[in-house]
A = this chain, B = another copy of it.
Amino acid sequence: MPLSQKDLSTSLKMTPRLFQNDIAKSRNKSTFIMTPPTNYSRLSLNQYTTFSWNVEDAVKGCERAGLPWIGLWRDKVAEFGLENSACVARESGIKISSLCRGGMFPADSESERQKRIDDNRRAIDEAATLGTDTLVLVCGGLPDKDLSAARQMVYDGITAVVPYAQERGIKLGIEPLHPMYCADRNVIVTLGQANDFALQLNAAFPEYQMPVGVVIDVFHVWWDPQVFAEIQRARGIIFGFHICDWITPLPDVLKGRGMMGDGWIQLRKFREAIDAAGYDGPIEVEIFNETIWEMPPDKVLDLMKKRYAREVM
């Protein structure tokens, strides 16, 4: 007996719900029942994840893997050439999710602080040439023991570059780093603090539309009892979302990140919270890890896609 229009409509309405249950079951039991093709439209390769590749290798790797986004690093871009990098990305159609990194504002003399500001302006120019809209800021560590003063230098440094960035169409994303990097890399150590800075800076520049925001990397913020409240507070100023995992024992302070699913972070919970806060941009996989760096990079992209599908979406 053929289905009536009403039956058909009920059936169509039911299917997705049942489907979700199946997916949930398949996740829990690792029994494959039925799964939709994962949508990779937000997945971005931060090029440090495939450290041995130059910009062109990485762009072509993304093409082969069907990844629409790539996050670039200034040192890699300089190595391959700024114009060449821009050209390779443009021709491939791969979009550049962000450029890492500006920042590093605190220094122990006025002249050195000015040099850092000048370098940030160069980073902004590079970002504009590459055609990305986001410069990630790793704000810098301590020139001396005065942590409050260093934080003020960060605030003043960002203030000094906001107009320059806005004139070139570049948004500045403050990335809070894990507190273990507070002394030597970044005195901005919580999402709450990054939100405070971004909101205060935006209020200081009413002539621009949200020139400063935050970049949320799960590795740096996952431990924070306030993080989900701060994700909500960041609505409208989330300029980037980076993923990897926290593995134990931590292999290395700097190169200790794990592949998604190999560690302790509730990645899907973060992705859902960040989605719920209105962010629908690229999701960058950024992993510094010697073992992953030794893998054939195409295999890393393959694994990355699988884990993104299983752990994040």
Contact = CB atoms under 8 A, between A and B. Distances in A.
The contact size tier of chain A is 20 to 34
A264 B142 contact: yes
Interface stretch (A125-133, A179-187, A299-307): A179-187
B184 A265 contact: no
Interface string A246-267: 1011100100000000011110
Contacts of A225: 151, 189-190, 192-193
Interface string A215-254: 0000000111100000000000000000000101110010
Contacts of A189: 223-225
Nearest to A188: B225
Interface in A123-149: 142, 145-147
B146 A266 contact: yes
Contacts of A246: 182-183
Interface string A151-176: 10000000000000000000000000
Contacts of A179: 178-180, 223-224
Contacts of A264: 142, 145, 183
A105 to B, nearest CB: 16
The majority secondary structure among interface residues of chain A is loop
A184 B253 contact: no
A212 to B, nearest CB: 17
Contacts of A145: 264-266
29 contacts: A145-B264, A145-B266, A147-B222, A147-B223, A178-B179, A178-B180, A179-B180, A179-B223, A180-B250, A182-B222, A182-B223, A182-B246, A183-B223, A183-B246, A183-B248, A183-B263, A183-B264, A184-B248, A184-B249, A189-B223, A189-B224, A189-B225, A190-B224, A190-B225, A192-B225, A193-B225, A249-B253, A250-B253, A253-B253
List 3 tightest A-B contacts by C-beta distance, closest first: A182-B223, A179-B223, A183-B264
Given A145-B265, A145-B266, A179-B224, 19 more contacts: A142-B264, A145-B264, A146-B266, A147-B223, A147-B266, A151-B225, A178-B179, A179-B180, A179-B223, A180-B250, A182-B223, A182-B246, A183-B263, A189-B224, A190-B224, A190-B225, A192-B225, A193-B225, A250-B253
